[in-house]
Structure 1
Protein backbone atom coordinates (compact mmCIF):
# COMPACT_ATOMS: atom_id res chain seq x y z
CA UNK A 1 0.00 0.00 0.00
CA UNK A 2 2.69 2.49 1.04
CA UNK A 3 4.70 1.73 -2.10
CA UNK A 4 1.88 2.73 -4.42
CA UNK A 5 2.91 5.30 -6.99
CA UNK A 6 -0.37 7.24 -7.02
CA UNK A 7 -2.31 8.81 -4.11
CA UNK A 8 -4.30 6.20 -2.17
CA UNK A 9 -7.61 8.12 -2.29
CA UNK A 10 -7.46 7.90 -6.10
CA UNK A 11 -7.41 4.08 -6.04
CA UNK A 12 -10.82 2.66 -5.07
CA UNK A 13 -9.44 -0.75 -4.07
CA UNK A 14 -6.68 0.68 -1.87
CA UNK A 15 -9.03 3.26 -0.40
CA UNK A 16 -11.33 0.40 0.60
CA UNK A 17 -8.44 -1.41 2.32
CA UNK A 18 -7.62 1.79 4.18
CA UNK A 19 -11.16 1.97 5.53
CA UNK A 20 -10.72 -1.57 6.90
CA UNK A 21 -7.34 -1.05 8.56
CA UNK A 22 -6.86 2.68 9.21
CA UNK A 23 -8.89 4.65 11.75
CA UNK A 24 -8.70 8.05 10.08
CA UNK A 25 -9.32 11.24 12.03
CA UNK A 26 -11.72 14.17 12.25
CA UNK A 27 -9.83 15.96 9.49
CA UNK A 28 -8.62 13.08 7.33
CA UNK A 29 -10.31 10.08 5.79
CA UNK A 30 -8.52 6.73 6.29
CA UNK A 31 -7.05 6.81 2.77
CA UNK A 32 -5.88 10.42 3.21
CA UNK A 33 -4.24 9.55 6.51
CA UNK A 34 -2.48 6.50 5.08
CA UNK A 35 -1.39 8.54 2.07
CA UNK A 36 0.81 10.66 4.35
CA UNK A 37 2.93 7.56 5.03
CA UNK A 38 2.92 6.64 1.34
CA UNK A 39 4.36 10.05 0.45
CA UNK A 40 6.93 9.76 3.24
CA UNK A 41 8.00 6.38 1.88
CA UNK A 42 8.86 7.87 -1.48
CA UNK A 43 10.50 10.99 -0.06
CA UNK A 44 12.64 9.10 2.43
CA UNK A 45 13.91 6.52 -0.02
CA UNK A 46 14.40 9.01 -2.86
CA UNK A 47 16.48 11.20 -0.55
CA UNK A 48 18.52 8.18 0.57
CA UNK A 49 19.32 7.38 -3.06
CA UNK A 50 20.23 11.02 -3.70
CA UNK A 51 22.67 10.90 -0.78
CA UNK A 52 24.46 7.86 -2.25
CA UNK A 53 24.25 9.06 -5.88
CA UNK A 54 24.70 12.86 -5.80
CA UNK A 55 26.52 13.03 -9.12
CA UNK A 56 23.74 11.09 -10.84
CA UNK A 57 21.22 13.52 -9.36
CA UNK A 58 23.35 16.41 -10.65
CA UNK A 59 23.43 14.95 -14.16
CA UNK A 60 19.68 14.26 -14.30
CA UNK A 61 18.35 17.29 -12.41
CA UNK A 62 15.59 17.15 -9.81
CA UNK A 63 12.78 15.93 -12.05
CA UNK A 64 14.94 13.44 -13.93
CA UNK A 65 16.37 11.95 -10.76
CA UNK A 66 12.94 11.78 -9.14
CA UNK A 67 11.63 9.81 -12.14
CA UNK A 68 14.65 7.50 -12.04
CA UNK A 69 14.30 6.92 -8.29
CA UNK A 70 10.59 6.15 -8.59
CA UNK A 71 11.20 3.69 -11.42
CA UNK A 72 14.02 2.04 -9.49
CA UNK A 73 12.04 1.73 -6.26
CA UNK A 74 9.08 0.31 -8.15
CA UNK A 75 11.36 -2.34 -9.69
CA UNK A 76 13.40 -2.94 -6.52
CA UNK A 77 11.41 -2.03 -3.40
CA UNK A 78 13.39 -2.02 -0.12
CA UNK A 79 14.10 -5.55 1.07
CA UNK A 80 16.48 -4.76 3.94
CA UNK A 81 16.14 -2.98 7.28
CA UNK A 82 19.12 -0.76 6.42
CA UNK A 83 19.13 2.02 3.84
CA UNK A 84 22.71 1.08 3.03
CA UNK A 85 21.38 -1.74 0.84
CA UNK A 86 18.79 0.41 -0.92
CA UNK A 87 20.91 1.01 -4.02
CA UNK A 88 22.15 -2.55 -4.39
CA UNK A 89 20.77 -2.84 -7.92
CA UNK A 90 21.17 0.76 -9.09
CA UNK A 91 24.07 0.16 -11.50
CA UNK A 92 22.33 -2.77 -13.24
CA UNK A 93 19.03 -0.92 -13.30
CA UNK A 94 20.63 2.20 -14.80
CA UNK A 95 22.28 0.06 -17.47
CA UNK A 96 18.85 -0.97 -18.79
CA UNK A 97 16.82 2.12 -17.85
CA UNK A 98 15.22 3.72 -20.92
CA UNK A 99 14.10 6.91 -19.19
CA UNK A 100 17.41 8.75 -19.45
CA UNK A 101 17.47 11.57 -22.01
CA UNK A 102 19.47 10.25 -25.00
CA UNK A 103 22.06 13.00 -24.69
CA UNK A 104 22.73 12.04 -21.05
CA UNK A 105 22.30 8.27 -21.21
CA UNK A 106 25.95 7.18 -21.47
CA UNK A 107 27.14 9.72 -18.90
CA UNK A 108 24.36 8.82 -16.47
CA UNK A 109 25.16 5.12 -16.71
CA UNK A 110 28.87 5.75 -16.14
CA UNK A 111 28.13 7.97 -13.14
CA UNK A 112 25.77 5.36 -11.68
CA UNK A 113 28.43 2.65 -12.07
CA UNK A 114 31.11 4.78 -10.46
CA UNK A 115 29.00 5.89 -7.51
CA UNK A 116 27.72 2.36 -7.02
CA UNK A 117 31.34 1.16 -6.72
CA UNK A 118 31.83 3.52 -3.77
CA UNK A 119 29.04 2.16 -1.57
CA UNK A 120 30.76 -1.02 -0.35
CA UNK A 121 34.04 0.81 0.26
CA UNK A 122 32.69 2.92 3.11
CA UNK A 123 32.15 0.23 5.73
CA UNK A 124 33.69 -2.99 4.43
CA UNK A 125 36.20 -4.82 6.62
CA UNK A 126 39.90 -4.28 5.93
CA UNK A 127 42.39 -7.19 5.99
CA UNK A 128 45.76 -6.96 7.79
CA UNK A 129 48.44 -5.03 5.88
CA UNK A 130 51.02 -6.79 3.73
CA UNK A 131 53.87 -8.43 5.64
CA UNK A 132 57.05 -7.06 3.96
CA UNK A 133 58.86 -10.34 4.67
CA UNK A 134 56.61 -12.07 2.16
CA UNK A 135 58.10 -9.88 -0.55
CA UNK A 136 61.73 -9.77 0.59
CA UNK A 137 61.74 -13.50 1.32
CA UNK A 138 60.38 -14.56 -2.06
CA UNK A 139 63.05 -16.27 -4.21
CA UNK A 140 63.49 -14.85 -7.68
CA UNK A 141 62.01 -17.91 -9.37
CA UNK A 142 59.05 -17.88 -6.99
CA UNK A 143 57.41 -14.91 -8.71
CA UNK A 144 56.50 -17.06 -11.71
CA UNK A 145 53.92 -18.89 -9.60
CA UNK A 146 53.32 -16.51 -6.68
CA UNK A 147 49.82 -15.09 -6.46
CA UNK A 148 49.35 -11.44 -5.53
CA UNK A 149 46.30 -10.86 -3.31
CA UNK A 150 44.66 -7.48 -3.83
CA UNK A 151 42.71 -5.56 -1.21
CA UNK A 152 39.08 -6.80 -1.17
CA UNK A 153 37.87 -3.19 -1.10
CA UNK A 154 39.62 -2.31 -4.36
CA UNK A 155 37.28 -1.55 -7.27
CA UNK A 156 38.67 -1.44 -10.81
CA UNK A 157 36.34 0.64 -12.94
CA UNK A 158 36.38 1.33 -16.69
CA UNK A 159 34.45 4.42 -17.74
CA UNK A 160 33.92 6.46 -20.89
CA UNK A 161 33.45 9.68 -18.86
CA UNK A 162 35.42 11.11 -15.90
CA UNK A 163 32.60 10.51 -13.41
CA UNK A 164 35.09 10.60 -10.54
CA UNK A 165 36.04 14.21 -11.31
CA UNK A 166 32.38 15.25 -11.48
CA UNK A 167 31.58 13.72 -8.08
CA UNK A 168 34.74 15.09 -6.49
CA UNK A 169 33.89 18.63 -7.57
CA UNK A 170 30.36 18.25 -6.23
CA UNK A 171 31.73 17.07 -2.87
CA UNK A 172 33.86 20.22 -2.78
CA UNK A 173 30.71 22.33 -3.03
CA UNK A 174 31.08 23.28 -6.69
CA UNK A 175 28.47 23.08 -9.43
CA UNK A 176 30.49 21.54 -12.27
CA UNK A 177 29.57 21.43 -15.93
CA UNK A 178 28.85 17.98 -17.31
CA UNK A 179 32.11 16.41 -18.52
CA UNK A 180 32.90 15.50 -22.10
CA UNK A 181 33.60 11.85 -22.91
CA UNK A 182 37.10 10.64 -22.01
CA UNK A 183 38.18 7.00 -21.49
CA UNK A 184 39.12 6.44 -17.86
CA UNK A 185 40.54 3.47 -15.96
CA UNK A 186 40.26 3.86 -12.21
CA UNK A 187 41.47 2.16 -9.07
CA UNK A 188 38.99 3.12 -6.35
CA UNK A 189 39.86 2.13 -2.79
CA UNK A 190 39.69 3.10 0.86
CA UNK A 191 42.92 4.55 2.22
CA UNK A 192 44.51 3.87 5.59
CA UNK A 193 42.83 7.05 6.88
CA UNK A 194 39.43 5.51 5.95
CA UNK A 195 38.81 8.04 3.16
CA UNK A 196 37.80 6.88 -0.30
CA UNK A 197 40.47 7.51 -2.92
CA UNK A 198 40.65 7.16 -6.68
CA UNK A 199 43.66 6.97 -8.93
CA UNK A 200 43.66 7.06 -12.72
CA UNK A 201 45.80 4.26 -14.13
CA UNK A 202 47.60 3.77 -17.40
CA UNK A 203 45.95 1.04 -19.50
CA UNK A 204 48.78 -1.51 -18.96
CA UNK A 205 48.78 -0.91 -15.18
CA UNK A 206 45.00 -1.34 -15.09
CA UNK A 207 45.24 -4.54 -17.17
CA UNK A 208 47.90 -5.93 -14.82
CA UNK A 209 45.75 -5.28 -11.74
CA UNK A 210 42.80 -6.92 -13.50
CA UNK A 211 44.90 -10.02 -14.23
CA UNK A 212 46.21 -10.19 -10.66
CA UNK A 213 42.65 -9.81 -9.40
CA UNK A 214 41.68 -12.89 -11.43
CA UNK A 215 44.37 -14.86 -9.59
CA UNK A 216 46.94 -14.94 -12.41
CA UNK A 217 50.46 -15.20 -10.90
CA UNK A 218 52.71 -12.19 -11.31
CA UNK A 219 55.01 -13.31 -14.14
CA UNK A 220 52.23 -14.81 -16.31
CA UNK A 221 50.15 -11.68 -15.62
CA UNK A 222 52.98 -9.48 -16.86
CA UNK A 223 53.34 -11.70 -19.94
CA UNK A 224 49.60 -11.37 -20.58
CA UNK A 225 49.79 -7.58 -20.42
CA UNK A 226 52.92 -7.51 -22.59
CA UNK A 227 51.14 -9.65 -25.19
CA UNK A 228 48.31 -7.15 -25.19
CA UNK A 229 50.81 -4.32 -25.69
CA UNK A 230 52.39 -6.20 -28.60
CA UNK A 231 48.95 -6.67 -30.13
CA UNK A 232 48.24 -2.98 -29.79
CA UNK A 233 51.57 -2.23 -31.39
CA UNK A 234 50.77 -4.53 -34.28
CA UNK A 235 47.53 -2.71 -34.97
CA UNK A 236 49.04 0.74 -34.63
CA UNK A 237 52.22 0.28 -36.66
CA UNK A 238 53.39 -1.50 -39.77
CA UNK A 239 56.65 -2.16 -37.89
CA UNK A 240 54.73 -4.37 -35.49
CA UNK A 241 57.62 -6.45 -34.17
CA UNK A 242 59.71 -3.50 -33.12
CA UNK A 243 56.79 -1.72 -31.60
CA UNK A 244 55.74 -4.80 -29.67
CA UNK A 245 59.23 -5.51 -28.35
CA UNK A 246 59.53 -1.89 -27.28
CA UNK A 247 56.21 -2.07 -25.48
CA UNK A 248 57.27 -5.24 -23.64
CA UNK A 249 60.59 -3.73 -22.55
CA UNK A 250 58.90 -0.55 -21.38
CA UNK A 251 56.39 -2.61 -19.37
CA UNK A 252 59.18 -4.51 -17.61
CA UNK A 253 60.77 -1.24 -16.52
CA UNK A 254 57.50 0.16 -15.16
CA UNK A 255 56.19 -2.83 -13.20
CA UNK A 256 58.51 -2.20 -10.26
CA UNK A 257 57.39 1.43 -9.95
CA UNK A 258 53.75 0.38 -10.14
CA UNK A 259 54.20 -2.15 -7.35
CA UNK A 260 55.87 0.38 -5.10
CA UNK A 261 52.97 2.73 -5.67
CA UNK A 262 50.30 0.07 -5.18
CA UNK A 263 51.96 -1.16 -1.99
CA UNK A 264 52.10 2.39 -0.61
CA UNK A 265 48.37 2.72 -1.34
CA UNK A 266 47.68 -0.55 0.49
CA UNK A 267 46.31 -2.32 -2.58
CA UNK A 268 48.47 -5.43 -2.10
CA UNK A 269 47.64 -7.31 1.09
CA UNK A 270 49.31 -10.69 0.61
CA UNK A 271 51.71 -12.71 -1.53
CA UNK A 272 50.90 -16.42 -1.69
CA UNK A 273 53.70 -18.70 -2.92
CA UNK A 274 52.68 -21.07 -5.70
CA UNK A 275 53.36 -24.79 -5.93
CA UNK A 276 56.89 -25.56 -7.01
CA UNK A 277 57.35 -27.66 -10.13
CA UNK A 278 58.38 -31.29 -9.52
CA UNK A 279 62.12 -31.38 -9.03
CA UNK A 280 62.31 -27.61 -9.14
Structure 2
Protein backbone atom coordinates (compact mmCIF):
# COMPACT_ATOMS: atom_id res chain seq x y z
CA UNK A 1 0.00 0.00 0.00
CA UNK A 2 1.42 3.41 -0.98
CA UNK A 3 1.64 6.31 1.48
CA UNK A 4 -1.16 8.16 -0.32
CA UNK A 5 -3.39 5.09 -0.02
CA UNK A 6 -2.49 4.73 3.67
CA UNK A 7 -3.71 8.24 4.41
CA UNK A 8 -7.21 7.28 3.26
CA UNK A 9 -7.21 3.85 4.96
CA UNK A 10 -9.06 4.22 8.25
CA UNK A 11 -7.60 1.15 10.08
CA UNK A 12 -4.06 2.26 9.15
CA UNK A 13 -4.75 5.80 10.35
CA UNK A 14 -6.23 4.51 13.61
CA UNK A 15 -3.22 2.31 14.34
CA UNK A 16 -0.83 5.12 13.43
CA UNK A 17 -2.62 7.63 15.64
CA UNK A 18 -2.66 5.24 18.60
CA UNK A 19 1.09 4.72 18.31
CA UNK A 20 1.70 8.45 18.04
CA UNK A 21 -0.43 9.72 20.93
CA UNK A 22 0.66 6.93 23.30
CA UNK A 23 4.39 7.36 22.67
CA UNK A 24 6.11 7.95 26.04
CA UNK A 25 8.38 10.71 24.66
CA UNK A 26 5.58 12.76 23.14
CA UNK A 27 3.70 13.11 19.88
CA UNK A 28 6.56 14.44 17.75
CA UNK A 29 8.80 11.54 18.72
CA UNK A 30 5.84 9.23 18.18
CA UNK A 31 5.43 10.41 14.59
CA UNK A 32 9.08 9.65 13.88
CA UNK A 33 9.14 6.33 15.74
CA UNK A 34 9.84 3.14 13.82
CA UNK A 35 6.49 1.66 14.87
CA UNK A 36 4.51 4.61 13.51
CA UNK A 37 6.61 4.80 10.34
CA UNK A 38 5.70 1.19 9.57
CA UNK A 39 2.08 2.32 9.23
CA UNK A 40 2.62 5.74 7.70
CA UNK A 41 5.92 7.14 6.43
CA UNK A 42 5.62 10.74 7.53
CA UNK A 43 7.81 13.49 8.96
CA UNK A 44 6.52 15.88 11.61
CA UNK A 45 6.60 18.77 9.11
CA UNK A 46 4.33 16.76 6.80
CA UNK A 47 1.66 16.24 9.44
CA UNK A 48 -0.86 18.56 7.78
CA UNK A 49 -1.30 16.00 5.02
CA UNK A 50 -2.99 13.80 7.63
CA UNK A 51 -4.23 16.15 10.37
CA UNK A 52 -5.49 19.53 9.25
CA UNK A 53 -4.60 22.60 11.29
CA UNK A 54 -7.21 24.91 12.82
CA UNK A 55 -7.29 28.71 12.99
CA UNK A 56 -5.59 28.67 16.39
CA UNK A 57 -3.59 25.42 16.48
CA UNK A 58 -1.08 23.67 14.27
CA UNK A 59 -1.60 20.04 13.32
CA UNK A 60 1.03 19.00 15.84
CA UNK A 61 -0.61 21.00 18.64
CA UNK A 62 -3.98 19.44 17.86
CA UNK A 63 -2.49 15.96 18.04
CA UNK A 64 -0.65 16.79 21.27
CA UNK A 65 -3.99 17.51 22.92
CA UNK A 66 -4.95 13.88 22.38
CA UNK A 67 -1.57 12.67 23.59
CA UNK A 68 -1.77 14.68 26.81
CA UNK A 69 -5.39 13.68 27.39
CA UNK A 70 -4.60 9.98 26.91
CA UNK A 71 -2.11 9.79 29.75
CA UNK A 72 -4.07 12.21 31.93
CA UNK A 73 -7.13 9.97 31.66
CA UNK A 74 -5.19 6.81 32.52
CA UNK A 75 -3.52 8.49 35.50
CA UNK A 76 -6.96 9.61 36.74
CA UNK A 77 -8.27 6.05 36.40
CA UNK A 78 -5.34 4.67 38.36
CA UNK A 79 -5.95 7.27 41.06
CA UNK A 80 -9.53 6.06 41.38
CA UNK A 81 -8.39 2.45 41.77
CA UNK A 82 -5.50 3.22 44.14
CA UNK A 83 -6.70 6.16 46.28
CA UNK A 84 -4.78 5.15 49.40
CA UNK A 85 -1.56 4.64 47.44
CA UNK A 86 -2.05 8.03 45.78
CA UNK A 87 -2.50 9.56 49.23
CA UNK A 88 0.65 7.86 50.52
CA UNK A 89 2.82 8.98 47.60
CA UNK A 90 1.33 12.39 46.89
CA UNK A 91 -0.34 13.43 43.63
CA UNK A 92 2.74 14.25 41.53
CA UNK A 93 4.90 11.27 42.62
CA UNK A 94 1.90 9.00 42.08
CA UNK A 95 1.45 10.34 38.54
CA UNK A 96 5.16 9.75 37.86
CA UNK A 97 4.92 6.16 39.10
CA UNK A 98 1.86 5.55 36.93
CA UNK A 99 3.48 7.07 33.84
CA UNK A 100 6.52 4.83 34.29
CA UNK A 101 4.23 1.84 34.87
CA UNK A 102 2.36 2.48 31.62
CA UNK A 103 5.64 2.34 29.69
CA UNK A 104 6.44 -1.05 31.21
CA UNK A 105 2.86 -2.37 31.11
CA UNK A 106 0.94 -0.41 28.45
CA UNK A 107 -2.81 -0.73 28.33
CA UNK A 108 -3.77 -3.60 26.02
CA UNK A 109 -7.30 -4.37 27.22
CA UNK A 110 -10.60 -3.00 25.98
CA UNK A 111 -11.60 -2.30 29.59
CA UNK A 112 -10.01 0.05 32.11
CA UNK A 113 -10.75 -2.56 34.78
CA UNK A 114 -7.52 -4.29 33.71
CA UNK A 115 -5.38 -1.15 33.71
CA UNK A 116 -3.87 -1.56 37.19
CA UNK A 117 -3.59 -5.34 37.20
CA UNK A 118 0.23 -5.35 37.09
CA UNK A 119 0.84 -2.25 39.21
CA UNK A 120 1.84 -4.14 42.39
CA UNK A 121 4.20 -6.27 40.28
CA UNK A 122 5.72 -3.14 38.74
CA UNK A 123 6.31 -1.59 42.17
CA UNK A 124 7.99 -4.79 43.32
CA UNK A 125 10.17 -4.96 40.20
CA UNK A 126 11.32 -1.35 40.55
CA UNK A 127 11.75 -1.11 44.32
CA UNK A 128 15.03 0.44 45.52
CA UNK A 129 17.96 -1.84 46.29
CA UNK A 130 18.31 -0.35 49.78
CA UNK A 131 16.98 -3.15 51.98
CA UNK A 132 17.11 -0.99 55.11
CA UNK A 133 14.18 1.12 53.91
CA UNK A 134 10.79 -0.43 54.65
CA UNK A 135 8.56 2.14 52.93
CA UNK A 136 8.77 0.38 49.52
CA UNK A 137 7.21 -2.75 51.01
CA UNK A 138 4.49 -0.63 52.61
CA UNK A 139 3.62 0.79 49.18
CA UNK A 140 3.69 -2.65 47.55
CA UNK A 141 1.41 -4.07 50.26
CA UNK A 142 -0.96 -1.13 49.88
CA UNK A 143 -1.12 -1.44 46.09
CA UNK A 144 -1.71 -5.20 46.38
CA UNK A 145 -4.59 -4.63 48.77
CA UNK A 146 -6.29 -2.03 46.59
CA UNK A 147 -5.87 -4.11 43.45
CA UNK A 148 -7.38 -7.10 45.26
CA UNK A 149 -10.36 -4.96 46.25
CA UNK A 150 -10.88 -4.15 42.55
CA UNK A 151 -10.53 -7.78 41.45
CA UNK A 152 -13.00 -9.01 44.06
CA UNK A 153 -15.50 -6.27 43.23
CA UNK A 154 -15.39 -6.96 39.49
CA UNK A 155 -15.11 -10.74 39.70
CA UNK A 156 -17.51 -13.59 40.31
CA UNK A 157 -19.29 -13.70 43.66
CA UNK A 158 -21.68 -15.89 45.61
CA UNK A 159 -24.73 -13.63 45.58
CA UNK A 160 -26.64 -15.87 43.14
CA UNK A 161 -25.52 -19.18 44.68
CA UNK A 162 -27.22 -21.35 47.29
CA UNK A 163 -25.57 -20.96 50.72
CA UNK A 164 -23.92 -23.95 52.35
CA UNK A 165 -26.07 -26.08 54.62
CA UNK A 166 -24.26 -25.42 57.89
CA UNK A 167 -26.22 -28.06 59.77
CA UNK A 168 -25.32 -30.70 57.21
CA UNK A 169 -21.68 -29.67 57.45
CA UNK A 170 -21.74 -29.87 61.25
CA UNK A 171 -23.22 -33.36 61.09
CA UNK A 172 -20.18 -34.79 59.27
CA UNK A 173 -18.23 -36.79 61.87
CA UNK A 174 -14.50 -36.09 62.46
CA UNK A 175 -13.74 -39.57 61.14
CA UNK A 176 -14.73 -38.30 57.68
CA UNK A 177 -12.69 -35.10 57.77
CA UNK A 178 -9.87 -36.76 55.84
CA UNK A 179 -12.29 -36.92 52.89
CA UNK A 180 -13.92 -33.53 53.42
CA UNK A 181 -12.96 -30.77 51.00
CA UNK A 182 -14.25 -27.22 51.23
CA UNK A 183 -14.45 -25.43 47.88
CA UNK A 184 -13.63 -21.73 48.30
CA UNK A 185 -15.93 -19.02 47.03
CA UNK A 186 -14.60 -17.43 43.82
CA UNK A 187 -14.40 -14.05 45.57
CA UNK A 188 -12.27 -15.26 48.51
CA UNK A 189 -8.71 -13.89 48.69
CA UNK A 190 -6.00 -14.43 51.30
CA UNK A 191 -3.32 -11.75 51.73
CA UNK A 192 -0.26 -11.79 53.96
CA UNK A 193 1.42 -8.42 54.53
CA UNK A 194 4.27 -6.88 56.49
CA UNK A 195 2.12 -3.85 57.32
CA UNK A 196 -1.51 -3.32 58.45
CA UNK A 197 -2.26 -1.46 55.24
CA UNK A 198 -5.99 -2.16 55.54
CA UNK A 199 -6.13 0.31 58.42
CA UNK A 200 -4.32 2.94 56.36
CA UNK A 201 -6.67 2.41 53.40
CA UNK A 202 -9.73 2.69 55.64
CA UNK A 203 -8.43 5.92 57.17
CA UNK A 204 -7.93 7.44 53.72
CA UNK A 205 -11.44 6.35 52.71
CA UNK A 206 -12.75 8.16 55.80
CA UNK A 207 -10.98 11.37 54.68
CA UNK A 208 -8.42 11.13 57.44
CA UNK A 209 -4.69 11.84 57.04
CA UNK A 210 -2.97 8.75 58.41
CA UNK A 211 0.78 8.38 58.81
CA UNK A 212 2.59 5.36 57.42
CA UNK A 213 1.80 2.30 59.52
CA UNK A 214 4.49 0.70 61.64
CA UNK A 215 5.67 -2.71 60.47
CA UNK A 216 3.39 -5.46 61.79
CA UNK A 217 2.70 -8.89 60.32
CA UNK A 218 -0.87 -8.85 59.01
CA UNK A 219 -3.14 -11.59 57.67
CA UNK A 220 -6.24 -10.53 55.77
CA UNK A 221 -9.21 -12.32 54.26
CA UNK A 222 -10.91 -10.37 51.46
CA UNK A 223 -14.39 -11.42 50.39
CA UNK A 224 -17.61 -10.06 48.93
CA UNK A 225 -21.11 -10.10 50.37
CA UNK A 226 -24.17 -8.57 48.73
CA UNK A 227 -21.84 -6.94 46.20
CA UNK A 228 -19.87 -5.17 48.94
CA UNK A 229 -16.15 -5.97 49.24
CA UNK A 230 -15.20 -6.68 52.84
CA UNK A 231 -12.01 -7.53 54.67
CA UNK A 232 -11.24 -9.31 57.90
CA UNK A 233 -7.96 -9.41 59.80
CA UNK A 234 -7.33 -12.89 61.25
CA UNK A 235 -4.60 -14.51 63.31
CA UNK A 236 -1.86 -16.69 61.86
CA UNK A 237 -3.56 -19.97 62.81
CA UNK A 238 -6.85 -19.22 61.06
CA UNK A 239 -4.99 -17.84 58.05
CA UNK A 240 -2.80 -20.95 57.69
CA UNK A 241 -5.83 -23.22 57.92
CA UNK A 242 -7.65 -21.22 55.26
CA UNK A 243 -4.55 -21.38 53.07
CA UNK A 244 -4.46 -25.17 53.25
CA UNK A 245 -8.20 -25.48 52.56
CA UNK A 246 -8.04 -23.08 49.61
CA UNK A 247 -5.06 -25.05 48.27
CA UNK A 248 -7.29 -28.15 48.19
CA UNK A 249 -6.26 -30.04 51.31
CA UNK A 250 -9.01 -32.08 52.99
CA UNK A 251 -10.03 -30.66 56.35
CA UNK A 252 -8.34 -33.47 58.28
CA UNK A 253 -4.98 -33.01 56.59
CA UNK A 254 -5.19 -29.22 56.91
CA UNK A 255 -5.75 -29.54 60.67
CA UNK A 256 -2.87 -31.98 61.01
CA UNK A 257 -0.58 -29.49 59.27
CA UNK A 258 -1.80 -26.70 61.53
CA UNK A 259 -1.00 -28.70 64.66
CA UNK A 260 2.33 -29.94 63.31
CA UNK A 261 3.45 -26.36 62.69
CA UNK A 262 2.51 -25.41 66.29
CA UNK A 263 0.14 -22.76 64.99
CA UNK A 264 -2.40 -23.61 67.69
CA UNK A 265 -2.64 -25.68 70.86
CA UNK A 266 -4.56 -28.92 70.39
CA UNK A 267 -6.75 -28.21 73.42
CA UNK A 268 -7.85 -24.90 71.90
CA UNK A 269 -8.64 -26.31 68.49
CA UNK A 270 -12.28 -27.50 68.96
CA UNK A 271 -13.52 -24.17 70.28
CA UNK A 272 -11.54 -22.11 67.78
CA UNK A 273 -12.68 -24.33 64.92
CA UNK A 274 -16.31 -23.89 65.92
CA UNK A 275 -15.94 -20.10 65.96
CA UNK A 276 -14.13 -20.09 62.64
CA UNK A 277 -16.72 -22.23 60.90
CA UNK A 278 -19.51 -20.04 62.23
CA UNK A 279 -17.83 -16.96 60.79
CA UNK A 280 -16.94 -18.64 57.49
CA UNK A 281 -20.51 -19.81 57.04
CA UNK A 282 -21.95 -16.38 57.85
CA UNK A 283 -19.83 -14.68 55.20
CA UNK A 284 -19.86 -17.60 52.76
CA UNK A 285 -16.12 -18.16 52.47
CA UNK A 286 -16.84 -21.56 50.93
CA UNK A 287 -19.38 -22.34 48.24
CA UNK A 288 -19.42 -26.14 48.31
CA UNK A 289 -18.61 -29.14 50.50
CA UNK A 290 -17.36 -32.34 48.89
CA UNK A 291 -17.10 -35.64 50.72
CA UNK A 292 -14.81 -37.66 48.50
CA UNK A 293 -14.90 -41.41 48.17
CA UNK A 294 -12.30 -43.21 50.27
Q: Does 1:271 align with 2:289?
A: yes
- Post-superposition offset of 1:267: 0.7
TM-score by length of 1: 0.86
Q: In the superposition, relative to structure 1, how do residues 163 and 71 fare at CA in structure 2: closer, same or farther (>3 Å)?
A: same
Extract unaligned runs of 5+ from structure 2.
Answer: 1-19, 34-43
Q: Which residue number corresponds to residue 65 of structure 1?
A: 94
Contact 1:8 1:32 in 2 (8 A): no
Are 1:262 and 2:280 counterparts? yes
Q: Deviations over 1:186-226 (max 9, x none)?
A: 001112x3211111111010000000000000011001011
1:1-280 correspondence runs (5 A): 1-9=20-28, 13=32, 15-16=44-45, 18-98=47-127, 102=133, 104-127=135-158, 128=161, 129-132=163-166, 134-191=168-225, 193-229=226-262, 247-276=265-294
After superposition, give the CA deviation of every residue in 1:59-117 in whole Å (9 maximum; x if it has no partner).
11112111110011111111112111111111211111247995631111111111111
RMSD across aligned positions (CA):
2.2
TM-score of the superposed pair, with normalisation by structure 2? 0.82
Quick one: structure 1 residues 4 and 11, their matched pair in 2 at CA, closer, same or farther if it must change by over 3 Å?
closer
Distance 1:262-1:21 versus aligned 2 partners, 3 A rule:
same
Distance 2:216 2:250 in 1: 31
Q: Kindly provide the CA deviation profile for residues 164-189 of structure 1, in whole angstroms up to 9, marking residues without a partner as x.
A: 11111111121212211111000011
**Using a 3 Å threshold, how does the CA distance of structure 1 residues 221 and 103 change in structure 2: closer, same or farther?**
closer
Residues paired across the two proteins, number: 260
- For structure 1, list consecutive stretches of 5 or more residues without a partner in the other structure: 231-245
